Amino acid sequence: MAQEIPSELLMNNTLINDLAAVAKDAALLQGVLMRIKESPNSSEVVTFAPFTLFPTPVPKACFLQAIAVQTHYNTLMDKISQDPDFLHEALASTISVDDFTARLYRIHQHVLKEGRSQSIVLGLNRSDYMLDQKEGEPISLKQIEINTFAASFGGLSSRIPDVHRHILKVAGQLKVLKCIPDNDPAVGLAKAVAKAWELYGSKRAVIMFLVEDQQRNILDQRYIENELWKRNIATIRKKFEDVSKSGKLDEKKRLFVDCQEVAVVYFRNGYMPQNYNSEQAWESRLMMECSLAVKCPDINTHLAGTKKVQQVLAQPGVLERFFPNEPQVVEQLRTTFVGLYTLDMGAEGDKNVTMALETPDRFVLKPQREGGGNNIYGHELCEVLNKVKNSDERMAYILMDKIRPVPSQNYLLRREMPLKLSTCLSELGCFGAYVRQGNDMLINDCVGHLLRTKNSEHLDGGVAAGVAVLDNPLLF
C-alpha cells in the first residue's frame, strides 16, 4: 500500500517507545479521554481512550464510497420506520422467539394504535463496514451493520486526527499528514439535534440524554452536549430510574422530567435487555415514546436497525420497495451488502443451517442485539446452531457471510498495557444525521466517520467493550 507506515519505523523499538509516550500526552491534551473502569461514574481520575499509535491505511475510493452512500442509508432507515407493514413482515418470526425484540415491538404497536404525537423525526446513526478482500479480487467495502441507536464516539473521533498528525510529525512522516481526513462528527450530530429542538418550538424545553447507570464513556457524549450549550440549548442527563420517579405527561402529552419540559429524548441507553432492569424501565420507555418529545431514535427507527431487518433487506427486490424509481440508489446500497441468510423455520432456513454447520468458518451467527461482543463464530457457532437447529429458537438469529478484512501492522495503546506490534483489523463507520418534519426532509447528511482497530486475535467487540481502539484512516 502506498501510504503504509515504513516497516523500519515500526521495528525501531527505541523510537516507538518515545512516540508512544508522546502519543499518550497528545491524546490527553486533545481531550481523547475516558473514565477508568474502577470509577466509571467519576471524572476525578481519567485516562486516555485507547487508540492506535499510527493511522491505518484505507483506500480512498472505499472511504469516499462509504461517505457517499450514507445519505441513502439515512433515507432507507427513515422509510423503513414509516412502513409498519414491512416491520411486521420482517420481524414476525423474530418476535415470536425473542422476548426483547417482542417487547420493543409491542411498544411500536401501542404507538401505532394511539397515533404518533410528534411529526418531527430525528435520526443519528452509524453504518459500519470492513474492507473485504477475497482472493484474486479487489478490495471492496462491505457493511457489517447499521446502528440506529446510541452510535458512539462521534465526540472523541473528532479529536483523533490532530493526535495522529502530531505523532507523524514527531516521527518525521510529514509527507502523509495530508492523507488523514478532517473529521468532526460532534458538530454535525449536534446540528441535527439542535434542529429538532428548534422545531419543537419551546425555548425553555431541554434536551435529555437518557443514560446508563455506569457512564465510563461520558466524555464522548460531552462533546455533543457542549456543542448544544454553545447554541444556548440546555441539556440534562437522566436514567430510566429518574424518568420513572419524576417523569409525567401533561394533557398535551408534553414530557416533563424533574419539572423540566423535554423537547428531545436522546437515547444513549435502552438497546440491550439488561438496560431494562425493572418493569418501571419499560413503562418509562413507553411513556417517552407516547410523548410529544422528539425521540432519537423513536421506537420505529430502533426496530429498523435490527439484524433481522438487515437480513430481509438483502433479499431480492426488497430495496426496490423503498426506492421504486431509483435503480442507482438501490445499486449503491446493494453493492455494500454481504450475504445474509434467514434461519426461519422451513426449507430455506434448514438449508442455511446445514450450510453453516458444514462450513462454519465462512459465517457469523448474529443474535438480535446491539453493542460489541454478541456475534458468534467458529466452534461456538456450531454449538449454538446444533442446540437450536430443530426448534423455533433459531429464528432469534441471522447468518451472515464472514468478511475477510485486510490486515495491517500497528501498536494499540491502552492504559497499563505492554507495547507490542500487532496484526490488526479495522472497521470504518460513517455517521449519518437526518431531521424530517412530516413529509419534509430538512437535514440529511453524512457528518463524519469513525475508524476502529483491534488485534486480529479478537473476532468481535468494539471500543466500549474493551477490544477495539480508536484510529484514523490514512487515505491512499
pLDDT digits (tens, 9 = 90+) for 295-325: 999 999 999 999 999 999 999 999 999 999 9
Q: Which of 270, 370, 375, 402 is catalytic?
A: 370
Average pLDDT rounded to a whole number, residues 187-199: 98
Average pLDDT rounded to a whole number, residues 397-411: 95
Output the pLDDT for position 83: 98
Average pLDDT rounded to a whole number, residues 179-207: 98
Output the pLDDT for position 373: 79
Whether 152 is catalytic is yes
pLDDT band at residue 465, thresholds of 50, 70 and 90?
low
Q: Output the average pLDDT for the chain.
A: 96
CA dist., res. 183 & res. 63, Å (int): 13
440 φ/ψ angles, rounded to the nearest 5 degrees: -100, 115
Q: Which of 145, 225, 227, 289 is catalytic?
A: 145
CA dist., res. 118 & res. 294, Å (int): 7
Q: Which of 366, 369, 394, 454 is catalytic?
A: 366
Q: What is the pLDDT of residues 246-279, one digit of tens each?
A: 999 999 999 999 999 999 999 999 999 999 999 9
pLDDT band at residue 450, thresholds of 50, 70 and 90?
very high
Average pLDDT rounded to a whole number, residues 342-352: 98
Output the pLDDT for position 136: 86
pLDDT band at residue 467, thresholds of 50, 70 and 90?
confident
Whether 452 is catalytic is yes
Average pLDDT rounded to a whole number, residues 390-400: 97
Whether 247 is catalytic is no
Q: Is the pLDDT of residue 196 over 70?
A: yes
Output the pLDDT for position 1: 43
Q: What is the pLDDT of residues 42-68, one digit of tens each?
A: 999 999 999 999 999 999 999 999 999
Burial of 291 (0-12, 13-18, 19+ CB in 10 A): buried
Average pLDDT rounded to a whole number, residues 160-174: 97
Q: Which of 339, 371, 373, 461 is catalytic?
A: 371
Q: Is the pLDDT of residue 360 over 90?
A: yes
Average pLDDT rounded to a whole number, residues 368-397: 93
Position 333: which residue type? L
Q: Is the pLDDT of residue 457 over 60?
A: yes
The helix or strand, by DSSP H or E, that contains position 387, with its residue range, turns out to be helix 378-388
CA dist., res. 23 & res. 29, Å (int): 10
Average pLDDT rounded to a whole number, residues 208-230: 97
Output the pLDDT for position 461: 66
In this structure, are residues 301 and 278 in contact, taking their beta carbons and an 8 Å threshold?
no
Q: Which of 238, 307, 394, 436 is catalytic?
A: 307
pLDDT band at residue 158, thresholds of 50, 70 and 90?
very high
Whether 370 is catalytic is yes
Q: Which of 81, 93, 152, 444 is catalytic?
A: 152
User: Pick from 377, 381, 372: which is nearest to 467 by CA?
Assistant: 372
Average pLDDT rounded to a whole number, residues 371-393: 93
pLDDT band at residue 241, thresholds of 50, 70 and 90?
very high
Q: Which of 222, 402, 452, 454 is catalytic?
A: 452
pLDDT band at residue 3, thresholds of 50, 70 and 90?
low
In this structure, are residues 15 and 9 in contact, taking their beta carbons and an 8 Å threshold?
yes
Q: Which of 147, 217, 269, 444 is catalytic?
A: 147
Average pLDDT rounded to a whole number, residues 74-88: 98
In this structure, are residues 432 and 301 in contact, taking their beta carbons and an 8 Å threshold?
no
Q: Is the pLDDT of residue 2 over 60?
A: no
Domain annotation for the chain: domains and CATH numbers: 7-338+403-475 (no CATH), 339-402 (3.30.1490.50)
Average pLDDT rounded to a whole number, residues 440-448: 98
Whether 326 is catalytic is no
